Chain A
Amino acid sequence: MSLLTLENLSVTFGKFRAVDNISYSVKEGEVLGIVGESGSGKSVSSLSVMGLIDYPGEVSADNLSFADQDLLSMPEKQRRKITGSDIAMIFQDPMTSLNPCFTVGYQIIEALKTHDGGNKKVLRARALELLNLVGIPAPESRMNAYPHQLSGGMSQRVMIAIAIACNPKLLIADEPTTALDVTIQAQIIDLLIDLQKQKQMGLVLITHDLALVAEVAHRVVVMYAGQIVESGPANEVFSTPRHPYTQALLASLPESASGKARLEALPGVVPGQYDRPQGCLLSPRCPYATDHCRHVAPDSQGSLERQVKCHTPLDAQGRPAA
């Protein structure tokens, strides 16, 4: 059964569409990787799932539901009961994501108290348990520590503890390791994947790291300029990308460039608010673009299981279909 379903979700800021008609779903216990360049709408789409898009941002969708409950039509108060308990999120920069004025213990207990309640002693015991679970040494003394006394890796572990405090069914991790040291990155990802398996959570992993997605994700969504250009089972998308953008992303990996003097790169940048091309958004950068591509925007082809947004999807050999 699908846990989270998005159908034609858009997020607009005034005239600018940060997220443009995207559809995907996450099943229970599934790891979904969302990849794409900076500014492609990865974070904004997940913030809209959390209900954290502020004015002037507007969220609209044919369907945005979690466990068969419509998130958009439910009252604010009811939605807050889901946010932070059934759906939780961890963010990119752990050092600034914890409130500097409160102790670690307070911030974990606050999450527990908001959704589950309970007396002080029970809450404290559960917070300690959580700190243990996320691998923080000497949790007893860390309870009274302030965020500025923690390293980045420790802070992210605390963020994870807060996120999993109420046993969420879905965890959204928005570039959880981008701000961390390379050595710590692996530890945090291992921890997340362990917890995901232990608790059978759905996990949405937003990242730039294609290798990581290839390794841990069941399914992958590739975003470009607010749109989903390709999605499908991770191994299929990575072995036989059907969208030129996915192909270019994979080609830009250092692994694909062995023996070459320079890494492959796609010239140009993601279009912003004022330079959106007319037809396919990738057309100015796409090596295969035709006149048709430059004038008519492509529709998504295929099922929700394996969709591609291209007039001429690539075949198994990586060449555009005629």
Chain B
Amino acid sequence: MFQFIFRRLSLVIPTFIGITLLTFTLIRLIPGDPIEVMAGERGVSAERHAELSAQLGFDQPLYIQYFNYVSGVLQGDLGNSLVTREPVLSEFLALFPATIELTFCAAIFAILVGLPAGIIAAVKRGTLFDHSVMTFSLTGYSMPVFWWALLLMLIFSVNLGWTPVSGRIDVVYWIDNVTGFMLIDSILSGEEGAFSSAASHLILPSIVLGTIPMAVIARMTRSSMLEVLSEDYIRTARAKGIAPWRVIVIHALRNALIPVITVIGLQVGILLSGAILTETVFAWPGIGKWLIESIGRRDYPVVQGGILIVATIIIVVNLLVDIAYGIVNPRIRHSR
């Protein structure tokens, strides 16, 4: 197992080189430069531009800039934001809990709904339930996120008034930032009603963000279960005379989960890297919103650093998925 993890980790080095090179080049290929964006409509004089360029190191050849960037990264320095002058890492760390919180709730929603729906659809294949699950999941998968978000907002926040429209918590609460997770901080604050306010702010974004993963999980679970249920070993299990629920939950599900775990892992990885549309629509102060804004400002260090961190997260999640895979599937665990 250690060998397996080590082998996976060694693949990380070329991936890092690729990511740094790509983000470094691509962001510089976008027209416009950070200094002009900073200056705004007032414009900036040629002398001032040159001065700032020299100050920020943009006057040096690209390969030197890249080398400086990478050597900084290797020393744990992702640089400072051109806009706020704050270190990229600390900006990221301040915003990341919001994204984690949202991802976590969305993933819980997606798994709690998608997994059982897929299992039942497979067991009762061809029935009305099966067809409904498949139709809903296809709809959920193909629905534009921003539209779905606005639709839910309109129904539940505006018309019914059940949930708040946007943000993380009601403005009447002033919550100290202890962990960065609003659900936890609101409890720690001891203010009455703060937790339920934070929780109610999470409901719609979680559903919106969890809809696509839920649809993917439901469809994957269903097809995987259908395949497994026709396997010979399911017949063997039934020939033992064990109860039908046990055949499904113990014998079939364990095998069917193997591909589903991969899908869940990949989906969570994607969610963690920031849900740009969902975070924007719900004014959720997370990574997705931060990155998209920094691209608009041509904030090179933030884009480079942010994408590098996000890529690292995806790599780590994938590694965890592979480890989980080995736990569920003995054939992987024993192979070299």
With A91-B232, A114-B242: A100-B237 Cβ-Cβ less than 8 Å: no
- A84 contact from B239, B329, B330, B334, Cβ within 8 A: B239
- Chain B residues numbered 184-241 whose CB sits less than 8 Å from any CB in chain A: 231-233, 235-241
Distance between Cα atoms of A149 and B334 in the complex (Å): 9
Assess whether B235 is in contact with A91, with CB atoms less than 8 Å apart: yes
Min distance, Cβ B122 to any Cβ of chain A, angstroms: 13
Contact A101 B255 (CB under 8 A): yes
A81 near B241: Cβ-Cβ < 8 Å: yes
Q: Does more than half of chain B's interface fall in helix, strand or loop, or is it mixed? A: helix
Q: Are B236 and A100 in contact (CB under 8 A)?
A: no
User: Quick one: CB contact mask for B234-266 with A, threshold 8 Å, 1 for yes?
Assistant: 011111111100000001001100000000000
Which of A88, A96, A110, A114 meets B232, CB within 8 Å?
Answer: A96
B239's contact among A81, A88, A115, by CB below 8 Å, is which?
A88
Q: Does B48 contact A (CB under 8 A)?
A: no
With contact pairs A100-B255, A100-B331 given, residues A84 and B241 touching in the complex (Cβ less than 8 Å):
yes
Provide 13 A-B residue pairs closer than 8 Å at the C-beta atoms, listed in order of the A residue.
A52-B235, A83-B239, A83-B241, A84-B241, A84-B242, A96-B233, A97-B233, A99-B254, A99-B255, A100-B329, A100-B331, A114-B240, A149-B334
Q: Is the CB of A99 within 8 A of B331?
A: no
- Interface flags, A151-162, vs B, CB<8A=1, else 0: 000000001001
B328 part of interface (Cβ distance < 8 Å): yes
Cross-chain contact A111 with B251 (CB below 8 angstroms) = no
Indicate with 1 or 0, residue by residue over A49-83, a CB within 8 angstroms of chain B CB atoms: 01010000000000000000000000000001111
The reply to whether A98 and B236 contact each other, CB–CB distance below 8 Å, is yes
Query: Which residue of A has the minimal Cβ distance to B328?
Result: A101
Known: A80-B243, A114-B242. A148 touches B331 (CB 8 A): yes
Whether a CB of chain B sits under 8 angstroms from the CB of A204 is: no
Verify B239–A50 contact, CB threshold 8 A.
yes
User: Smallest Cβ distance from A202 to chain B, in angstroms?
Assistant: 16
CA distance A47 to B137 in the complex (A): 36
- Chain A residue numbers with a CB within 8 Å of B231 are 96
Closest to A148 in B: B331
Q: Does A93 contact B (CB under 8 A)?
A: yes
Choose one: A85, A97, A102; the contact of B241 (CB below 8 Å): A85
State whether B233 touches A100 (Cβ < 8 A). Answer: yes
Shortest Cβ gap from B245 to chain A (Å) = 12
**CB pair A101 B242 closer than 8 Å:** no
A22 touches B (CB below 8 Å): no
CA distance in complex: A159, B237 (Å): 11
Which residues of A are in contact with B by a Cβ distance under 8 Å?
50, 52, 80-85, 88-89, 91, 93, 96-102, 110-111, 114-115, 146, 148-149, 159, 162
Which residues of chain B come closer than 8 Å to A82, judged between CB atoms?
241
A80–B241 CB distance below 8 A:
yes
CB distance from A54 to the nearest CB of B (A): 9
The answer for the CA separation of A123 and B242 in the assembled complex, in Å, is 16
Q: Enumerate chain A residues within 8 angstroms of B328, measured Cβ to Cβ.
A: 101
Kindly state the separation between the CA atoms of A80 and B330 in the bound complex, as whole angstroms.
Answer: 29
CA–CA, A183 to B330, complex, Å?
29
Residues of A within 8 A of B232 (CB): 91, 93, 96-97
Assess A84 versus B255: contact at CB under 8 Å? Given A93-B232, A96-B232, A148-B330: no
- With a cutoff of 8 Å between Cβ atoms, the chain A residues found around residue B330 in the complex are 100-101, 146, 148
Q: Are the CB atoms of A110 and B236 closer together than 8 Å?
A: no
Structural contact, A101 and B239, CB atoms closer than 8 A? no
CA separation between A82 and B240, bound complex, in Å? 9
The residue of chain A having its C-beta at the shortest distance from the C-beta of B258 within the complex is: A101
Residues of A within 8 A of B241 (CB): 80-85, 114-115
Task: Compute how far the CA of A89 lies from the CA of B242 in the bound complex, rounded to whole angstroms.
Answer: 14
Per-residue A-contact encoding for B318-335, CB less than 8 Å = 1, 0 else: 000000000011110010
Indicate which residue in B233, B242, B331 contacts A98 across the interface (CB closer than 8 Å): B233
- Closest residue on chain A to residue B239 by CB atoms: A89
Which of B240, B242, B243, B334 gathers the greatest number of chain A CB atoms within 10 Å?
A: B240
- Nearest CB of chain B from residue A49's CB, rounded to whole Å: 11
Q: With CB as the reference atom, state the residue of chain B lying closest to A95.
A: B232
Instruction: Report the separation of the CA atoms of residues A83 and B235 in the bound assembly, to the nearest whole angstrom.
Output: 12
Contact A80 B233 (CB under 8 A): no
Q: How far is the CB of B110 from chain A (nearest CB, A)?
A: 24
